[in-house]
């Protein structure tokens, strides 16, 4: 299971203040590609446990954060390192594709 559920309220502490790189899955309940990516994100959370914090942010419930990072399409997966976005992945992709992008920043 993903490490965390991120919100507008906890984003600064949980993501920007994290000592570990963080993968944030920006998603929505109604988004079919998000539902496809969801299980992949869960697998990635398990595989990268201890190296990468993984969580989800529902854009319908937390629009302020999504807007502040220019998330216009979902699913969008952003990797934060030291409080900064270091990688953006947009749309449904294969697990191998996500792993390559994650490995490039870890």
Which of 34, 41, 78, 102 is catalytic? The answer is 34
For residue 75, is the peptide bond before it cis, meaning its omega torsion is within 30 degrees of 0? Answer: yes
pLDDT at 4: 84
Tens digit of pLDDT for each residue in 19-69? 999 999 999 999 999 999 999 999 999 999 999 999 999 999 999 999 999
For the segment 70-99, the average pLDDT, to the nearest whole number, is 97
Domain boundaries of the chain, sorted by first residue: 4-105
| Beta strand pairing call for 76-81 and 22-27 | antiparallel
For the segment 57-85, the average pLDDT, to the nearest whole number, is 97
- In the chain, what percentage of residues exceed pLDDT 90? 96
DSSP secondary structure string for all residues of 75-89: SEEEEEETTEEEEEE
Q: What is the CATH number of domain 4-105?
A: 3.40.30.10
Element (H, E) at 24: strand 22-27
Is 31 tagged catalytic?
A: yes
Dist CA 1 CA 44 (whole Å): 9
- Say if residue 1's pLDDT is above 80: no
Give the burial class of 20: count Cβ atoms within 10 A of its Cβ; 0-12 exposed, 13-18 middle, 19 or more buried. Answer: middle
What is the pLDDT of the chain when averaged over all its residues?
95
Dist CA 64 CA 101 (whole Å): 26
Is 56 tagged catalytic?
A: no
- In the chain, what percentage of residues exceed pLDDT 70? 97
- Say if residue 3's pLDDT is above 80: no
Q: What is the pTM of this model?
A: 0.95
Which of 4, 15, 22, 31 is catalytic? The answer is 31
């Amino acid at each position: 299971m993903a490490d965390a559920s991120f919100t507008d309220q906890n984003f600064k502490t949980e993501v920007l203040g994290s000592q570990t790189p963080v993968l944030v899955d920006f998603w929505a309940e109604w988004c079919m590609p998000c539902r496809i990516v969801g299980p992949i994100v869960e697998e990635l959370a398990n595989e990268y446990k201890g190296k990468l914090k993984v969580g989800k942010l529902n854009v319908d419930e937390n629009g302020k954060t999504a807007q502040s990072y220019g998330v216009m399409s979902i699913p969008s997966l952003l990797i934060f390192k030291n409080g900064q976005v270091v990688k953006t992945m947009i749309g449904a992709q294969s697990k191998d594709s996500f792993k390559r992008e994650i490995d490039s920043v870890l």
